[in-house]
């Protein structure tokens, strides 16, 4: 299941696409993503057909999970990897902003964390380790992306911890490592928002 903007075509402006996750073939489009529309759509199928559903891949929107458990009680709910990574991306960015605020507006750390935000959110495999650039926020030192990341992470322990978690998560998703992904998703992240 995945929702998408469908404009005036749908009563709520959002519709639901149903796809076969293995063949990527569109099975159907439901005009609205609201629970009553979804419930009505799936209740057209008899109970035995709904009990035969083994897995449902969906985003992290809680009402969908409740509905899936009700309509497909035997199905395993799988979180769509795109939404897992997107949520981790947003969380890391929020922790970066908290680190900036703890450093204090206008400080060297604040400016560096603000200026290099894209680099912090870049997958580690895409960082340059052999090209040196002069970095104004670090006394015009010649630094690679990797060296710069290490200096940015030295500013804040929470940011460093969240960064390592984020990088491990996107690596596990990229490698399709189910065991590593399960381990990461069941690990309680110990980074807590700090009072500003």
Mean pLDDT of the chain: 85
| pLDDT value, residue 188 | 59
Question: Could you tell me how far CA 169 lies from the centroid of its own chain?
Answer: 9
Cα separation of 11 and 77, whole Å? 27
The residue-averaged pLDDT of 147-170 equals 92
Q: How sure is the predictor about 189, in pLDDT bands with cuts at 50, 70 and 90?
A: low
Structure-block tokens of residue 83: 């939404």
Among 131, 133, 116, 120, CA closest to 162: 120
Exposure string (b/e) for 173-194, b if CB count within 10 Å is 16 or more?
Answer: beeeeeeebeebeeeeeebeee
| pLDDT value, residue 115 | 92
Q: With 0-12 CB in 10 A as exposed, 13-18 as middle and 19+ as buried, what is 57?
A: middle
Q: What is the pLDDT of residues 28-39, one digit of tens each?
A: 888 888 888 889
């Amino acid at each position: 299941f995945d929702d998408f903007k469908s404009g005036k075509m749908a009563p709520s402006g959002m519709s639901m696409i149903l796809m076969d996750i293995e063949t990527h073939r569109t099975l159907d489009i439901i005009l609205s993503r609201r629970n009553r529309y979804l419930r009505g759509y799936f209740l057209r199928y008899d109970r035995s057909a709904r009990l035969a559903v083994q897995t449902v891949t969906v985003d992290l929107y809680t009402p969908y999970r409740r509905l899936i458990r009700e309509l497909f009680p035997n199905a395993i709910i799988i979180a769509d990897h795109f939404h897992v990574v997107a949520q981790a991306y947003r969380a890391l960015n929020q922790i970066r902003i908290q680190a900036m605020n703890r450093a204090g507006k206008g400080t060297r750390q604040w400016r560096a964390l603000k200026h290099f935000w894209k680099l912090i959110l870049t997958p580690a495999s895409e960082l340059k380790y052999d090209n040196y650039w002069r970095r104004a926020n670090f006394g015009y030192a010649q630094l690679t992306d990797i060296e710069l990341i290490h200096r940015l992470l030295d500013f804040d322990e929470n940011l460093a911890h969240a960064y390592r978690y984020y990088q491990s998560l996107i690596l596990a998703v990229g490698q399709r490592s189910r065991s590593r992904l399960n381990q990461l998703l069941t690990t309680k992240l110990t980074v807590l928002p700090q009072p500003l």
